[in-house]
Amino acid sequence: MDELEKIEGNERVYSLNLGPQHPSTHGVLRILLDLDGEYIVKADPVIGYGHRGHEKMGENRQYKQFLPNTSRMDYLSGMLYNHGFVLAVEKLAGIKVPERAKYIRVIASELNRISSHLLWFGTYLLDLGGITPFLYAFDDREQILDILDAISGSRLTYSYCRFGGVSRDVDMKFIEMTRAFLKRMEARWVDYEDLVTKNVIFIHRTRDVGVISLELARQYGVTGPNLRACGVAFDVRRSEPYEVYDRFDFEIPTGSKGDALDRYVVRFREMQQSCRIIDQALEHLPEGEIMTPKVPQKLSPPKGEVYTAFESARGLTAYYLVSDGSPGPYRCHIRVPSFGNLNVLNDVLPGTLVADAIAILGSVDLVIPEIDR
Amino acid sequence: MGYFKDIFNGGLSLIEGMGVTARRLFRPLVTVQYPRKKIPLSSAYRGHIELKIFGESGTHKCIVCLNCEKTCPSGVIRVQGEKLKEKGPKTLTSYVIDFSRCSLCGLCVEICPTSTLKYSREYELVGETWADCKIDLLARLARQVEEMEAEKKTQGIAA
Amino acid sequence: MSEGLLGSELFRLILGLVIVLAFSQLNALFLVWLERKVSGHIQLRPGPMEVGPHGLLQTIIDGVKLVGKELIMPLKADRKLFFLAPVLVFTPVLVGFLVLPFGPGLIIHDMNVGVLLVFAFSTITVLAILTGGWASNNKYALLGAVRSVAQNVAYEIPLLLAVMSVVLMVHSLSFSQIVASQKTVWFVFIQPLACLIYLIAATAETNRAPFDIPEAESELVAGFHTEYGGMGFGLFFLAEYTNMFIVCAVATSLFFGGWNGPFGISLGIPGVFWFLIKTYFLIFVIMWVRWTFPRVRFDQLMNFSWKVLIPLSLVNLVITAIVVKII
Amino acid sequence: MNCLSTYLIISALLFSLGLLGILQRRNLIGMLISVELLLNAANLNFMAYNRFLVSDPVTGQVITLFVMGLAAAEAAIGLSIILALYRKMHSINIEAAQKMKG
Amino acid sequence: MKINDIEARMHSKFPESPLNRDDTGGTGVQWSIAVPISGIRDAATEFDAAGFFLESITALDFEDTFELVYHFNCYEPGSRASVRMLCGHDEVPPSICDIFRGAVWLEREVHDFFGIKFSGNADMRPLLLPEDADYHPLRKTFGKVGAYHKREVIYG
Amino acid sequence: METSGLNFILQAAFWVTVALTVAGASIAVFPRNILYNVLGLALALTGIAGFYLFLGSLFVALMQLLIYVGAICIAIVFAIMLSRPLHMEALPRPRAKVWLGILGSAVFFIGAVSVALKTKWLPAAGHVYNSSQWSVQNIGNALLTRYELVFEVISLVLLVAIIGAVITAGFSRRISS
Most confidently modeled range among E19-28, E133-142, F39-48, F131-140: F39-48
Instruction: List chain B residues with CB under 8 Å of C43.
Output: 24
End-to-end CA distance of chain A: 37
pLDDT in tens, D18-63: 888 888 877 778 888 888 888 888 888 888 887 777 777 777 788 8
pLDDT for position D100? 60
Residue F125 main-chain phi, psi, to 5 deg: -60, 135
Q: Does A42 share its domain with A191? A: no
Most confidently modeled range among A31-35, A332-336, D21-25: A332-336
Q: Does A27 share its domain with A154? A: no
**CB hemisphere CA count around A349 (13 angstroms):** 29
Nearest residue in C to A206, CA atom: C297
- What's the pLDDT band for A3 if we cut at 50, 70, 90? very low
Q: How many domains are there within chain E?
A: 1
Out of A153, A198, A200, the one facing B46 most closely (by C-beta) is A153
pLDDT in tens, F99-124: 888 888 888 888 888 887 787 777 76
Strands (E), chain A: 13-18, 30-36, 39-46, 161-162, 165-166, 304-312, 315-323, 329-335
Q: Does residue A318 register a pLDDT over 80?
A: yes
pLDDT in tens, C103-121: 776 676 677 777 888 887 8
Contact F93 D14 (CB under 8 A): no
Lowest mean pLDDT among C211-225, C302-316, F154-168: C211-225
Residue A211: strand, helix, or coil: coil
Tell me the sheet residues that pair with E54.
E72
Nearest residue in A to E96, CA atom: A219
Distance, in Å, from the CA atom of C115 to the CA atom of D20, rounded to the nearest integer, reads 38
pLDDT in tens, B38-85: 888 888 888 888 888 877 777 777 788 888 888 888 888 888 888 777
Question: Where is E81: in which H helix or E strand?
Answer: strand E81-87
Nearest residue in D to F51, CA atom: D44
Does a cis peptide bond (omega within 30 degrees of 0) precede residue A20? yes
DSSP code string of A16-60: EEE-SS-TTSSSS-EEEEEEETTEEEEEEEE--TT---HHHHHHT
Distance, in Å, from the CA atom of F81 to the CA atom of C149, rounded to the nearest integer, reads 10
Q: How many domains are there within chain A?
A: 2
* Residue F75 lies inside a defined structural domain of this protein: yes
* Residue E69 lies inside a defined structural domain of this protein: yes
CA distance F28 to chain A (A): 26
In this complex, which chains have at least 3 CB pairs below 8 Å with chain B? A, C
Sign of dihedral through CA atoms A10, A11, A12, A18? positive
Interface probe with A: pick from B3, B13, B41, most Cβ of A within 10 Å: B13
Residue A27 identity: G
Contacts of A294 (CB under 8 A, 6+ apart): A164
- What's the pLDDT band for F1 if we cut at 50, 70, 90? very low
**Physical contact, C and E (3 or more Cβ pairs within 8 A):** no
Question: Where is B152: in which H helix or E strand?
Answer: helix B137-158
Q: Does residue A11 register a pLDDT over 70?
A: no
pLDDT for position A7? 41
**Which residue did the predictor score with more confidence, C313 or E19?**
C313
Distance, in Å, from the CA atom of B98 to the CA atom of B79, rounded to the nearest integer, reads 12
The mean pLDDT of A135-155, rounded to a whole number, is 87
* Residue E104 lies inside a defined structural domain of this protein: yes
Neighbours of B146 (CB within 10 A): 10
Contacts of C270 (CB under 8 A, 6+ apart): C103
* Residue E147 lies inside a defined structural domain of this protein: no
Q: Does residue A358 register a pLDDT over 60?
A: yes
pLDDT in 10s for each residue of chain E, 156 residues: 777 777 778 777 777 777 777 766 677 788 888 888 888 888 888 888 888 888 888 888 888 888 888 888 888 887 888 888 888 888 888 888 888 888 888 888 888 888 888 888 777 888 888 888 888 888 888 877 677 888 877 777
Domain parsing of chain B, residue ranges:
49-158
Q: Does residue C8 register a pLDDT over 70?
A: no
pLDDT for position C10? 66
DSSP code string of D31-71: HHHHHHHHHHHHHHHHHHHHHHT-SSSSHHHHHHHHHHHHH
Lowest mean pLDDT among A204-208, B119-123, C64-68, F87-91: F87-91
- What's the pLDDT band for C177 if we cut at 50, 70, 90? confident
Q: Which of residues 43-102 of D touch F (CB under 8 A)?
A: 43-44, 47-48, 50-55, 57-59, 61-62, 64-66, 68-77, 79-84, 86-87, 91-93
Neighbours of A348 (CB within 10 A): 23
Per cent of chain C over pLDDT 90 is 0
Burial class, C114, CB count within 10 angstroms (exposed 0-12 / middle 13-18 / buried 19+): buried
- What's the pLDDT band for C2 if we cut at 50, 70, 90? very low
Contacts of B54 (CB under 8 A, 6+ apart): B60, B61, B116
Its domain, for residue E71, covers 2-19+28-132
Q: Does residue C124 register a pLDDT over 60?
A: yes
DSSP code string of C28-47: HHHHHHHHHHHHHHHTTS--
In this complex, which chains have at least 3 CB pairs below 8 Å with chain F? A, C, D
Distance, in Å, from the CA atom of A260 to the CA atom of A205, rounded to the nearest integer, reads 9
Contact A205 C294 (CB under 8 A): yes
Sign of dihedral through CA atoms C273, C274, C280, C281? positive
* Residue E92 lies inside a defined structural domain of this protein: yes
Burial class, E54, CB count within 10 angstroms (exposed 0-12 / middle 13-18 / buried 19+): buried
Per cent of chain C over pLDDT 70 is 93
Out of A55, A324, A344, the one facing E154 most closely (by C-beta) is A324
- Number of A/D CB contacts below 8 angstroms equals 3
Domain parsing of chain C, residue ranges:
68-326
Q: Does residue C279 register a pLDDT over 70?
A: yes
pLDDT in tens, C80-95: 888 888 888 877 777 7
Q: Does residue A160 register a pLDDT over 70?
A: yes
Give the mean pLDDT of chain C.
81
**Physical contact, F and C (3 or more Cβ pairs within 8 A):** yes
Does a cis peptide bond (omega within 30 degrees of 0) precede residue C210? yes
The mean pLDDT of F37-49, rounded to a whole number, is 87
Question: Using the 8-state DSSP alphabet, how is residue E75 labeled?
Answer: S
Neighbours of A179 (CB within 10 A): 13
Distance, in Å, from the CA atom of C253 to the CA atom of C99, rounded to the nearest integer, reads 11
Tell me the sheet residues that pair with B95.
B79
* Residue F20 lies inside a defined structural domain of this protein: yes
Distance, in Å, from the CA atom of C104 to the CA atom of B20, rounded to the nearest integer, reads 39
pLDDT for position F92? 64
Among candidate residues F88, F120, F142, the one where a domain is terminated: F88
The CA-CA-CA angle for residues A19, A22, A26, to 5°, reads 95
The mean pLDDT of C43-61, rounded to a whole number, is 84
Instruction: List chain E residues with CB under 8 Å of A318.
Output: 28, 55-56, 71
H helix intervals, A292-364: 337-343, 345-348, 354-363
Distance, in Å, from the CA atom of F73 to the CA atom of F71, rounded to the nearest integer, reads 6
Nearest to D12 by CA among F118, C26, B120: F118
CA distance F59 to chain D (A): 9
**Quick check: A71 and A82 in contact, CB under 8 A?**
yes
Its domain, for residue F2, covers 1-88
* Residue F53 lies inside a defined structural domain of this protein: yes
CA distance A169 to chain E (A): 28
Q: Does A135 share its domain with A271? A: yes
- Number of A/E CB contacts below 8 angstroms equals 117
Q: Does A135 share its domain with A19? A: no
- What's the pLDDT band for C9 if we cut at 50, 70, 90? low
Q: Does F77 share its domain with F141? A: no
Q: Does residue A286 register a pLDDT over 80?
A: yes
Q: Which of residues 28-87 of B touch C (CB under 8 A)?
A: 28-31, 33
Contact C153 F75 (CB under 8 A): yes
Question: Where is E71: in which H helix or E strand?
Answer: strand E66-73
Among candidate residues F88, F117, F140, the one where a domain is terminated: F88
Distance, in Å, from the CA atom of F139 to the CA atom of F147, rounded to the nearest integer, reads 10
Residue A154 identity: S
Q: Does F82 share its domain with F7? A: yes
**Quick check: E54 and E72 in contact, CB under 8 A?**
yes
Distance, in Å, from the CA atom of D44 to the CA atom of B7, rounded to the nearest integer, reads 47
End-to-end CA distance of chain E: 31
Fold of D4-98: Helix Hairpins (1.10.287)
pLDDT for position D91? 66
Nearest residue in A to E52, CA atom: A218
Contact C46 B31 (CB under 8 A): yes
Sign of dihedral through CA atoms A52, A56, A58, A60? negative
CATH number (domain holding residue F21): 1.20.120.1200
Residue C109 identity: H
In this complex, which chains have at least 3 CB pairs below 8 Å with chain D? A, F
Q: Does F82 share its domain with F148? A: no
The mean pLDDT of F146-155, rounded to a whole number, is 84
Tell me the sheet residues that pair with B91.
B82
The DSSP bridge pattern shows strands E31-35 and E81-87 to be parallel
Nearest to A76 by CA among A334, A365, A341: A365
What separation in angstroms does the CA of C150 have from each of C116, C144, C209, C304, E127? 21, 10, 16, 13, 39
The DSSP bridge pattern shows strands A304-312 and B77-82 to be unpaired
HEC per residue, B48-93: CEEECCECCCCECCCCCCCHHHHHCCCCCEEEEEECCCCCCCCEEE
Give the mean pLDDT of chain A.
84
Q: Does residue C248 register a pLDDT over 50?
A: yes
* Residue F35 lies inside a defined structural domain of this protein: yes
**Physical contact, B and A (3 or more Cβ pairs within 8 A):** yes
Fold of B49-158: Alpha-Beta Plaits (3.30.70)
Contact C292 B29 (CB under 8 A): no
